[in-house]
Structure 1
Amino acid sequence: MAPTLTPRHDGRLIRVRYDNAARGNCFDDTALHELVHALETAAAVDSCAVVELAMAGRNFCGGWDTTAFTELAGSSPETVADGLRASDAALRRIRRLPVPVVTAVRGRVIGFGAGLLDAVHLPIAATSARLSLPEARFGFAPAGVGYAIARALPRPQAYHLLTGATTASADQMLAWGLVAEVVADDHLDRATEALVETLLAVPGHTLRAVVEVVESSRATGRPDHAYDVSARTIVAGVAARGADR
């Protein structure tokens, strides 16, 4: 189940494959931290400009492994809250990667899977993909996933989804900004490959700068750091053109 890394395009693309398909690609603490470590390892390669996250099997993510809940018996709310914070901190490490992560979203996105989806930079969904949050039916209130959904969706739709009253279609995920594009099921792999090729046509340092602009702007709500990043690329670009004359 440990993620595998495969460099492609002279190391400019690194494919990270997560395979827990036998359990719907669900996660526990160990699996999550192994995936995040694999993504960070890929992004740390100097030549890497894009990371592709490939989720094996028919479903993107089946949520949190329910067998892990038995370990919580007798735990205090404070201990459980610390665990929730730790898993959300791991997802924030994905958002903070210096290169964009592209992923194909097919089948079911359940519970914790919504948090993983929200952390990835450029998810493309198949038409048949569906998002559900069943925690409330088991007596749980979603924490970090609840925050991500409440922030991304209009208030009534957030309640509709977080109470388990509805399942979101791929088109709804697109309208809410949870995915970048929706394509026909049989076109998903080709569309993902086409997006990767488009990104690889952009210089790697520019892609890293774009990620820095977007993520710093979202994190702070201010353009200050974006000015510095953009200025750095402009100066470098002008100097490069001058050297070519």
Structure 2
Amino acid sequence: MTVTTSGQPTDAQMPGSDVLRVEDRGPVRVITLNRPDKLNALDTALTRALSTALTRAEDDSRVRAVVLTGAGRAFCSGADLSEFPSLTPDEPDAVLERAALTAGLQTRMQRMGTPVVSAVRGAAVGGGAGLAIAADMTVVGTDLKFGYPELRHSIVPALVMAGIQRQLSRKLAFELISTGRLLSATEVLEHGLANRVVEPDRVVDEALVIAERWAAVEPRALRAAKDLFYRVADLPTEAAMRAGQDVNALMRGFRR
């Protein structure tokens, strides 16, 4: 169900979709993975619904920030393994479609101009771990279990590998993917993968504080800052400075 704080449907509603909840709290859109009985495992329906919801948030000028969270006791337990028997070499189109959908979702948040903060409690593993740290900022609960246990299921964490490499040191990254060790909330904070650690029942409230601060900023300036932040990450210094100069000139028109 998609509702505003007044309880009325919004134009973000996706009829027939029970796997995702979308709620507007003023200029902040809260998107909730809603498969709590499956620990919010990412099946095709949820992956597609989340991708659509993020696109709609990006396209809605009233939305200044997004909070991404999960219903129940987990943020996201990764890919729904029950779908894997149908994703075999005998069904190449289905395999390619699902891979493209997952890869797009893992990169979607950083490509958005609208900033996203993830509010993470309980398990965030595999693709769920990738989603948690793909957000621009991350708030985690003290009950966090974070990691990449795919090899235990004879699966390669292929579509989250780019994010792992960019956000963890190589030694720690290889330890996590090769042994399946899970990090605690304290370790995640120490390794720079989270911005805040709070009690589990406060993760959404803390994420809303961050999102509301973003919402108070001139949206064109924040979008330009976010775009430049990620764009210069892989540029040589001189190219990064040129990009900064371009935005410096552009921002003269942002003042209210």
| TMscore range, shorter length | 0.7 to 0.9
Map 1:133-144 to 2 at 5 A. 133-144=148-159
TM-superposed CA distance for 1:170, in Å, is: 1.6
Task: Letter of the 1:4 partner, please give it.
Answer: R
Task: Letter of the 1:231 partner, please give it.
Answer: A
TM-superposed CA distance for 1:140, in Å, is: 1.9
Summarize the Cα distance change of 1:2–1:166 in structure 2 as closer, same or farther, 3 Å threshold. Answer: closer
Task: Letter of the 1:232 partner, please give it.
Answer: L
Say which SS state the counterpart of residue 112 (structure 2) adopts.
Answer: coil
TM-superposed CA distance for 1:71, in Å, is: 0.5
In 2, Cα distance between equivalents of 1:160 and 1:173: 14
TM-superposed CA distance for 1:64, in Å, is: 0.2
Say which SS state the counterpart of residue 128 (structure 1) adopts.
Answer: coil
Summarize the Cα distance change of 1:33–1:132 in structure 2 as closer, same or farther, 3 Å threshold. Answer: same
Task: Letter of the 1:6 partner, please give it.
Answer: E
TM-superposed CA distance for 1:172, in Å, is: 2.2
Map 1:13-24 to 2 at 5 A. 13-24=28-39
Summarize the Cα distance change of 1:83–1:19 in structure 2 as closer, same or farther, 3 Å threshold. Answer: closer
TM-score normalised over the length of structure 2: 0.81
Determine the structure 2 residue equivalent to 1:243: none
In 2, Cα distance between equivalents of 1:7 and 1:233: 29
TM-superposed CA distance for 1:55, in Å, is: 1.5
Contact residue 174 and residue 180 of structure 1 kept, 8 A: yes
Determine the structure 2 residue equivalent to 1:72: 87
TM-superposed CA distance for 1:202, in Å, is: 1.6
Task: Letter of the 2:136 partner, please give it.
Answer: H
TM-superposed CA distance for 1:168, in Å, is: 0.8
Say which SS state the counterpart of residue 5 (structure 1) adopts.
Answer: strand
TM-superposed CA distance for 1:7, in Å, is: 2.4
TM-superposed CA distance for 1:173, in Å, is: 1.9
In 2, Cα distance between equivalents of 1:143 and 1:199: 32
TM-superposed CA distance for 1:77, in Å, is: 8.5
In 2, Cα distance between equivalents of 1:70 and 1:27: 15
Contact residue 89 and residue 95 of structure 2 kept, 8 A: no
Contact residue 212 and residue 229 of structure 1 kept, 8 A: no
TM-superposed CA distance for 1:121, in Å, is: 1.4
Determine the structure 2 residue equivalent to 1:205: 220
Which segments of 5 or more consecutive residues in structure 2 lack a partner in the other structure?
Answer: 1-17
TM-score normalised over the length of structure 1: 0.85
What CA deviation, in whole Å up to 9, does each residue of 1:24-72 have, x standing for no partner? 0011223212101111101211122111223211101011001111112
What CA deviation, in whole Å up to 9, does each residue of 1:124-175 have, x standing for no partner? 1112211122211122221022332233222221121102342111222223
Which segments of 5 or more consecutive residues in structure 1 lack a partner in the other structure?
Answer: 241-245
Greater CA deviation, 196-205 or 60-69?
196-205
What CA deviation, in whole Å up to 9, does each residue of 1:190-215 have, x standing for no partner? 32222123222222222222222222
Determine the structure 2 residue equivalent to 1:7: 24
Task: Letter of the 1:61 partner, please give it.
Answer: C
Say which SS state the counterpart of residue 123 (structure 1) adopts.
Answer: strand
Determine the structure 1 residue equivalent to 2:139: 124
Task: Letter of the 1:212 partner, please give it.
Answer: D
Say which SS state the counterpart of residue 197 (structure 1) adopts.
Answer: helix
Task: Letter of the 2:41 partner, please give it.
Answer: C
Summarize the Cα distance change of 1:75–1:226 in structure 2 as closer, same or farther, 3 Å threshold. Answer: farther
In 2, Cα distance between equivalents of 1:210 and 1:216: 10
Summarize the Cα distance change of 1:189–1:168 in structure 2 as closer, same or farther, 3 Å threshold. Answer: same
Summarize the Cα distance change of 1:152–1:103 in structure 2 as closer, same or farther, 3 Å threshold. Answer: closer
Contact residue 113 and residue 223 of structure 2 kept, 8 A: yes
**Percentage of identical aligned residues:** 28
Counterpart of 2:124 (choices 90, 93, 109) is 109
Task: Letter of the 1:179 partner, please give it.
Answer: A
Counterpart of 2:55 (choices 40, 62, 76) is 40
Map 1:1-245 to 2 at 5 A. 1-9=18-26, 12-75=27-90, 80=95, 83-218=98-233, 220=235, 222-223=239-240, 224-237=242-255, 240=256
